Amino acid sequence: MVQPKYHVFVCTSCRINGVQKGFCHTKGSVNLVQRFMEEIDERDLSGNVLVTNTGCFGICDKGPVVVVYPEAIWYGNVTEDDVTDIVEQHFENGEKVDRLVI
């Protein structure tokens, strides 16, 4: 069993019935999942970082929302451009990206 150093949860506004609709979804959060996966793969971090899409975290005004465990760091208003910063600064250097923390 793979035990990643980081587990990333990205709100994609998934509903119980499988339909994706909601604030984070309309703000491109599905693309964020793809960007995280690409960036992690490019930096050979696949064994250290697991990415999971989730349903609503309940703070839509801060979306798209990304939560990183085990530290329980919540990032808000995340864009595709922010993914590189999160991967480099947080996953590679162990420092949260303060400008995105909520």
Question: What total number of domains does the chain contain?
Answer: 1
Domain of 30, CATH number, reads 3.40.30.10
Burial 68-81 (b: 16+ CB within 10 A, else e): beeeebbbbebebe
Rounded CA-CA distance 95/6 in Å is 12
For the stretch 4-53, pLDDT in tens is 999 999 999 866 666 666 778 878 888 999 999 999 999 999 999 999 99
This prediction has a pTM of: 0.90
In a domain, 1, yes or no: no
Expressed as residue numbers, the domain containing 21 is 6-100
Average pLDDT over residues 62-73: 96
User: Which among 83, 63, 82, 81 is positioned nearest to 13, based on CA atoms?
Assistant: 63
